[in-house]
Amino acid sequence: MNKKALITGITGQDGSYLTEILLDKGYTVHGIIRRSSSFNTGRIDHLYNNQEIYGKRLFLHYGDLVDTSNLNRLLEKIEPDEIYNLAAQSHVKVSFEIPDYTAQVDALGTLRFLDAIREVGLKQVKFYQASTSELYGKAQDIPQTEKTPFYPRSPYGVAKLYGYWIIVNYREAYNLFACNGILFNHESPRRGETFVSRKITRAASRIALGIDEKLILGNLNAKRDWGYAPEYCEGMRMILQHPIPEDFVMATGETHTVREFAELTFGELGINLEWDGKDERERGIIKEIVKTKYDIKNKKLKQGVCVIEVDGRYYRPTEVDLLIGDYTKAKNLLGWEPKVKFDELIKIMIESDYEKVLKRGF
Ligand code: NAP
Ligand code: GDD
């Protein structure tokens, strides 16, 4: 019999890729979506509008991680073999503004789900928890592994830390097949526009095409280990196929600053930058424009023009300065390894955003 998966956060970046992967493997997929005043299914519309799939092997249900009785009902009705808990208030900066809600969803939401599994009596179900490299926060080791102590630096990180430990506790206390994927940053053309990678690739495209003049960023010195989301979503599935429930780091093993991300992105379009000033006075200025496959339609762009500025309003009260992951365990036990590294990731994202902006004009 084909497996049945239940995905929370199916409308998000990872949820959409994971759905495609599981459908490809022959799963039936049930997804939980939130009621929204505007369309929130853009990332899965191609599946939702496919009559071969929707209503046959893909089903969507309204729900929310803050609604316990809803989770109970859905589990009773669907009886999934595998659950992927990807739903979260996932923005670190926003978590400083809405810490209570972030904890309700990211920490207690995980507990509600685990408890609903016990109440409904789904003894055989396998549970994947979207854990995060934000747990390492003020990193205690370089690189970070499954054994590195945690030191979260935001309400988001702290809420996810609760999620991490409640998974470990339910695994040990009730023998539940529950695993944490400690995933480092992973990006794609489907990444939300307010995360820094997508903010940069989208803005660079808009600047090149003459829609925007400048990109305003926060901390350019932060270093992240950025990978390609579809590969990490395949990793989630692999974690649940491993015979023993365990926690795994998934990362690329490379780290780069936000400044490097911006420099490479503009460079991909043929806009080579140099930097001037420090901290909030730092600016990215055009050094030269060179020919690439992308057409720079904005004729105002020339040597000396400033295209990047820093604004302290994007700084976080406490920052995570450096993340770099060691994925040896995932490689050895699961055979998981990332193929797309930093340069390639930027190429994929800029190609997509340039095309989108060119076609739609936004
Ligand atoms: P995302 O694009 O922000 O998607 C989050 C999803 O959660 C969306 O479908 C959202 O619904 C849903 N959601 C939010 N609050 C909810 C609630 N109260 N009840 C039900 N659903 C809710 O995030 P992502 O990048 O795909 O990340 C997926 C998961 O992995 C998240 O848990 C994130 O914290 C974690 N993670 C991400 C990364 C990364 O680099 N991407 C790294 C480590 C861990 P709407 O579409 O309606 O907003
Ligand atoms: N969002 C944003 N916007 N970040 C900026 C900006 C800006 O204008 N300027 C600089 N940054 C810096 C942030 O301060 C941070 O150090 C870094 O860029 C990355 O920020 P985000 O892209 O927002 O991602 P994140 O690392 O905070 O969190 C993402 O990755 C985590 C895994 O490590 C999210 O996907 C989390 O959900 C995920 O757990």
Answer yes or no: is the C-beta of 102 below 6 A from any ligand 2 atom. Answer: no
Phi, psi of 249 (to 5 degrees): -85, 135
CA 240, 243, 245, 248: dihedral to nearest 10 degrees? -70
Structure tokens at 223: 């270093």
Instruction: Specify the pLDDT at position 361.
Output: 77
For the chain, state the CA radius of gyration: 21
pLDDT of residue 250: 99
Would you state the pLDDT for residue 360?
87
Position 336 scores a pLDDT of 98
Domain ranges for the chain: 4-183, 196-220+258-319+347-360
The reply to whether ligand 2 has any atom less than 6 angstroms from the CB of 92 is yes
Query: What's the half-sphere exposure (Cβ side, CA atoms, 13 Å) at 22?
Result: 31
325: helix, strand or coil: strand
Assign domain 4-183 one CATH number from 3.40.720.10, 3.40.1260.10, 1.10.533.10, 3.40.50.720. Answer: 3.40.50.720
Total length of the chain: 362
Tell me which residues have their CB closer than 6 angstroms to ligand 1.
8-9, 11-15, 32, 34, 36, 40, 64-66, 86-90, 105, 130, 132, 183, 185-186, 192
Q: Please answer whether residues 9 and 43 qualify as being in contact, where contact means their C-beta atoms are separated by less than 8 angstroms.
A: no
Nearest CA to ligand 2 atom 16: 222
State the distance from the centre of ligand 2 to the C-alpha of 130, rounded, in angstroms. Answer: 16
Q: What is the dihedral of CA 314, 315, 316, 320, to 10 degrees?
A: 120
The set of residues, in sequence order, having a beta carbon less than 8 Å from that of 94 and lying 6+ positions away, is 102, 156
pLDDT at 212: 96
Centre of ligand 1 to C-alpha 203, Å, is: 23
What is the pLDDT, as a whole number, of residue 204? 98
CB 205 within 8 A of CB 356: yes
Report which ligand 2 atom has the smallest distance to the Cα of 133: 33
DSSP secondary structure letter of residue 144: B
Burial per residue of 251-263, b for 16 or more beta-carbon CB atoms within 10 angstroms, e otherwise:
bbbbbbebbbbbb
Burial grade of 58 (CB within 10 A; 0-12, 13-18, 19 or more) = buried
Ligand nearest the Cα atom of residue 235 = 1
Q: Whose CA is nearest to atom 41 of ligand 1?
A: 186
Q: Decide if 320 contacts 222 (C-beta within 8 A).
A: yes
Per the omega criterion (within 30 degrees of 0), is the bond before 143 cis?
Answer: yes
Q: Which residues are catalytic?
A: 132, 134, 156
Residue closest to 253 by CA, chosen among 234, 231, 235, 227: 227
Return the best residue to mutate from 6, 7, 14 for the ligand 1 pocket (most ligand atoms within 8 A of CB). 14
| Token representation of residue 106 | 């990211």
Ligand 2 atom at minimum distance from 183 CA? 32
Ligand 1 centroid to residue 9 C-alpha, Å = 5
pLDDT averaged over 10-residue windows placed end to end, the chain, 362 residues: 95 98 98 95 96 96 96 97 98 98 98 96 96 98 98 98 98 98 98 98 98 97 98 98 98 98 98 97 98 95 98 98 98 98 98 96 73
Q: Is CATH 3.90.25.10 the classification given to domain 196-220+258-319+347-360?
A: yes
CA distance 111 to 105: 10
Q: For atom 6 of ligand 1, which residue has the closest CA?
A: 9
